[in-house]
Amino acid sequence: MSQVRETVYDVLQTCAEEESLDIGDLTGNERLVDDLGFRSLSMARILAVLEGTLGADPFSELVAVTSVRTVDDLVGAFEKALSTETRRVDEGAVDPQVEQGRQRAAARRRRTRPSTPLTQ
Amino acid sequence: MSETSKVILISGGSRGLGCAIAKDLLQAGHRVATFSRSSTDFVQEQTQADPDGNRFVWRSLDGCDFDGVRQFVREIEERFGPIEVLINNAGVGVDGMLSTMRDDDVHLGVSLNLEAALQLTRTCLKSMLREQSGCIINVTSVNGIRGFSGVSVYSATKAALDGLTRSLAREVGPMGIRVNAIAPGYFESAMTEGLTERQKAWIVRQTALRRLGETEDMLGVVRFLMSNEAAFITGQTMVVDGGLTC
């Protein structure tokens, strides 16, 4: 079992215990919400813990968080983030939806150039 | 949340209300991190007094530089530990009749007053979620509660922060994270120094306590909201306006 998978499993078990969820032994196929019973806020915490533990945030650019449904999806997202070979857009590894969103946000920021000093 | 030294991140803490809040919290023994576009006498004095950044850290950052802000938050977490209190204070007072405002000013108001606060909040929430504890205070305005001519964009952004306060409070409350807002009325500040004496006099007449506010009027409310005494308060906007909007 990879280090990433082991970490993900550990974090899921820890968070499950905090919420009195019995998720049993994980195989990877389990759906995080529908099968394991995690709510959206719990998932937000799980992702925050994994980001802090693994030192990677796959959902800022690489992977659309909405595509993560199963434990394997979650493991895959963090493995992707930790793989240095998959960080470039021109290699096609960045989720196109994420990249389009990033480009729209960057275009909005370019249209806004603060000319007025902060006054508050 | 204990009442011992907290790790506090405040946006726009180099001048005005943000600076006053930062000073007050430093005097109370907390660790304060802040950023703004430019340095001020306050920043320089604090940096000289604490060159190693043991309790005060400032960075030159534009609040709309979201990557830079994320990096700064990571730096502060490595230095001080998890962010315990976030104060979304940075803002700009764009004013003018909406029909004649420039695109740039509209974008500036929305980007700095709202989007920057959302991005900073999202980043800080991660450590608060990990810790299952935290306090977020959004500095909004009476302009987000009542209508005033000439500040439509500003009002829109401040009302949006009030909406953020309520919804985010519901969203993260189960994780022990409280989200509140403070809505100052008109107080002596850089934002009101452009008012004429006639305008100030009108405001005073409309104010139940018959005076403009002072920066110090806001500080106690901020301290209260981040204290254990406000442990059962979330999703609220505390209006500090001397009764202007009552």
Domains recognised in chain B with CATH numbers: 7-185+214-240 (3.40.50.720)
How many CB atoms are located within 10 Å of the residue B28 CB? 15
Q: Closest to A48 (Cβ–Cβ): which among B104, B126, B139?
A: B126
Q: Cβ A117–B191 below 8 Å, yes or no?
A: no
| Backbone φ and ψ of B87, nearest 5° | -120, 110
Interface test with B, best of A38, A43, A119 (most B CBs within 10 A): A119
Residue with tokens 């060159």: B51
Q: List, for residues B123-132, the tens digit of each pLDDT value.
A: 999 999 999 9
| Backbone φ and ψ of B226, nearest 5° | -90, 0
Radius of gyration of chain A (CA): 17
Per-residue model confidence (pLDDT) at position A119: 33
Mean pLDDT across chain A: 81
Q: What is the ipTM score, two decimals?
A: 0.82
Distance CA B94, CA B85 (A): 27
Domain range list for chain A: 3-111
pLDDT at B166 over 90: yes
Superfamily name and number for A3-111? ACP-like (1.10.1200.10)
B35, B69 Cβ separation under 8 angstroms: yes
Contacts of B66 in chain A (CB under 8 A): 105, 109
Interfacial A residues in 56-75 facing B (CB < 8 Å): none
- Enzyme catalytic residues of B: 154
The arithmetic mean of pLDDT across residues B31-52, rounded, is 97
B73, B88 Cβ separation under 8 angstroms: no
How many CB atoms are located within 10 Å of the residue A29 CB? 9
Retrieve residue A93's tokens.
């590894």
B131, B178 Cβ separation under 8 angstroms: no
Per-residue confidence at B108, pLDDT binned at 50, 70, 90? Answer: very high
The arithmetic mean of pLDDT across residues B236-242, rounded, is 97
Q: Cβ B107–A108 below 8 Å, yes or no?
A: yes
Per-residue confidence at B193, pLDDT binned at 50, 70, 90? Answer: confident
The arithmetic mean of pLDDT across residues B72-88, rounded, is 97
